Amino acid sequence: MRKPASSRRLQPVRGVSAARWDASLSGSTSLWRNVSPPQIFVGSFLFLITAGTLGLRFLPGLYTNEPLSWLDAIFTSTSAVCVTGLTVADTATQFTFRGQLFILLLIQLGGLGMLAFTSLVIQVLGFRLSLRAESLTHEARKSGPRVDLKRLTLDIVMFTFVIEALGAVTLWVAWAPTQGWDGAAWPAIFHSISAFCNAGFSTYSDSLIGFRNSSATLLIISSLIIAGGIGFIAMEESALYFTKRKKAVRHRLSVHTRLVLVTTLLLLVLPWPMFAFFEWQTTLNDISIGDKIINSLFLSVTARTAGFNSIDYSVASDSTSFLTIILMTIGGSPGSTAGGLKTTTFALIILLAWSRIRGDETTVFANRSIPDDTIQRAIGLSVVAFAIMAVGVFALATTEYVPASHGNFLSRMFEAVSAFNTVGLSMGLTPNLSAPGRVVTILLMFLGRVGPLTLAAAIVFSRRRRAHFRFAYEDVVVG
């Protein structure tokens, strides 16, 4: 009787001994088991960046003139895959439609992440996700709602394409009166995907400065940025909350989702009037009061990893630039397309400080105590992130010369923070970066996209060795 396919063993290739075949299979399995989930995550981005670089160098019909150099191709591929938006080549003028489409593909893959697409393909083929693939999302899922991984992955893809489609349609309708129905179609699609993925790439040379008088455009882009930066975990649970509420079924939002929503709202509302005050008589001086208000809101939204700009940051006030640096550092929420420290990390540090000021031993939010391990992880991630940004600022300050009239040190600090937190805003320094400066920026973009996540995963999945003894305690004076 013939054995079923699932129980049959793989047969060795003709001419290869069974022993060598078994050893090869054993070695491959052992090698795969020795690869940690963080290494898989980083490797997926390295693979995509490499593929993007080779495509930018060798695929025909991508450029209007000469192709990018190797360094610029690596820079552009890294910026697209890491959904940063810093560009050394003008996307609007140096790339053909095919070139823009290729960049958009890199943005979409980088925004969703290789894991979501891999999980989707496996599920479509009818296979169950491996334990290793599930472990890659364990940390993100254990703090959020208890949802099935298959459902979560499908919802990620579904939410992404539905929201991007709605954004493209609304932008198309908004731009058609001035650009024509045919002329507005491709820019609408490109900007919808770029905004939702928090990439900041634009098919217009001046980004969205030409739309500073179009409140509808800025509000649509802002909505897409917020949707992409709020996080799939919070989005999934919010959808469950409203669905069950309509059915009169009680569903409590998790502390994670509550913290994300509250922090996101505060980071949108509080900087809004500050940007209006700083730029009312400067970069926003020549537009109507209503447009000033909407542009100020847009400045508050785009600063947290979106990368689109409706003003020229090279002539913005120092107060605006520094406030933007703070918001870029905070970034979006976990499980989103955004970068930065993440809203929850920032919120936990503030809650920790507040609890210590009040003399409380535990950090509390929404009548729940936050585990000490989570607090320590947030502090550790913050220390590492600030250390990397400090090194990046120092490196750009060493390699790049900027005239005092162009912001000097502030512009280099702005550039480094924008690169590491995958924002894409610039004070005009990016196209003029030297070769060493471009290498530094590439490393910052890559570390900003995978570094903090990799560190968190390494902490979670590392095997803790329990010692049979501990050293004696001795206190240290602080403060």
Whether 25 shows a pLDDT value over 50: the answer reads: no
Whole-angstrom distance, CA of residue 394 vs CA of residue 301: 28
What is the per-residue pLDDT across 362-372, written as a single tens digit (0 to 9) for each?
888 888 889 88
User: Among candidates 182, 188, 194, 187, which has minimal Cα distance to 166?
Assistant: 188
Q: Is the pLDDT higher at 251 or at 125?
A: 251
Residue with more model confidence, 35 or 179:
179
- pLDDT reported for residue 283: 92
pLDDT in tens, 317-350: 999 999 999 999 999 888 788 888 889 999 999 9
Residue 472: what pLDDT? 84
| Residue 35 confidence class, pLDDT cut points 50, 70, 90 | low
Pull the structure tokens for residue 186.
């491709």
Asked if the model's pLDDT at residue 110 lies above 80, the reply is yes
Residues 106/111/116/120 CA torsion (nearest 10 deg): -50
Supply the pLDDT for residue 150.
64
- pLDDT-based confidence at residue 129 (cuts at 50, 70, 90): very low
- pLDDT tens digits, 267-280: 999 999 999 999 99
More confident residue, 379 or 149: 379
Q: What is the pLDDT of residues 42-91, one digit of tens each?
A: 778 889 999 999 999 999 999 999 999 999 999 999 999 999 999 999 99
Mean pLDDT of 136-148: 48
Give 201-252 pLDDT, tens digit per residue: 999 999 999 999 999 999 999 999 999 888 777 877 887 777 766 666 666 7
Quote the mean pLDDT of the chain. Answer: 82
Q: Where are the chain's structural domains?
A: 36-460
pLDDT band at 307 (very low <50, low <70, confident <90, very high): confident
Task: Check whether 404 has a pLDDT greater than 50.
Answer: yes
Task: Say how many CA atoms lie within 13 Å of 410 toward its Cβ.
Answer: 19
Whole-angstrom distance, CA of residue 232 vs CA of residue 144: 10
Q: Residue type for 113, please?
A: G
User: Using an 8 Å Cβ cutoff, are 80 and 108 in contact?
Assistant: no
Which residues on neighbouring strands pair with residue 424, listed in sequence order?
A: none
Q: Which residues pair with 369 in a beta bridge?
A: 364
pLDDT confidence of 145, banded at 50, 70, 90? Answer: very low
